[in-house]
Amino acid sequence: GAVVSQHPSWVICKSGTSVKIECRSLDFQATTMFWYRQFPKQSLMLMATSNEGSKATYEQGVEKDKFLINHASLTLSTLTVTSAHPEDSSFYICSARDKGLAGGSIDEQFFGPGTRLTVL
Amino acid sequence: AQKVTQAQTEISVVEKEDVTLDCVYETRDTTYYLFWYKQPPSGELVFLIRRNSFDEQNEISGRYSWNFQKSTSSFNFTITASQVVDSAVYFCALSGMNTGFQKLVFGTGTRLLVSP
């Protein structure tokens, strides 16, 4: 099956620093990647949709200047949390759609293992 | 707007009991997909099933079964003879035609605790 990796799996940082999270599709090309945030004991909330070579589309209420998304290639998308604060502490999950399955019917999303961010 | 409701926040059962997780959805799309995912303590989402809106046939996969009823907008998930390894948070999700089936809307999840 398709594999999506995330790096790092966890990170602890000081308030005010920036943190970059990578999402990679290991054995397929992903035209679209999604970034979700999950607070403890809560559901996954879509933050943004990232298409290769174009600007990300952010969901309402998500600050695009704070959560920078770059989808530079068909296998890599990055999420940078700029000037992180304790309220940004969360579990960040990415998913990727398989380009090879695109066209007409739904493409399955493959989820990464998540990155746990703790801001002190 | 699309919405997925999982009214059961947490369910506790003893091993070998059957358990049903409820999922009720709202959408104006005539074509949509419904999903169930399992999230064990490790955090990684595990895909369980995808069902399209035109297929109301119930599905069984081992100890898992799903009951899709459009008339009540429900897509319930039953685990038969539960095991401790089934302990996890289970999410129901919806993807509709109006977003090109790109966006997944998740329910709030049901935490299942299976004790020995």
Whether residue B100 lies within 8 A of chain A, CB to CB, comes out as: no
Locate B38 and state its tokens.
């399992």
The pLDDT tens digits for A24-77 are 999 888 888 999 999 988 899 999 999 888 889 999 999 999 999 998 888 999
- Residues A62, A57: Cα–Cα separation, whole Å: 10
Whether residue B69 lies within 8 A of chain A, CB to CB, comes out as: no
Name which of B101, B102, B106 is nearest A44 (Cβ-Cβ): B106
> Which of A50, A95, A106 to probe by mutation at the B interface, max B CB count within 10 Å?
A106
Interior/surface letters B57-72, b for 16+ CB within 10 angstroms, e for the rest: eeeeeeebbbbbeeee
Q: What's chain A's average pLDDT?
A: 89
The pLDDT tens digits for B19-28 are 999 999 999 9
Q: Tokens 């933050």 belong to which residue?
A: A47
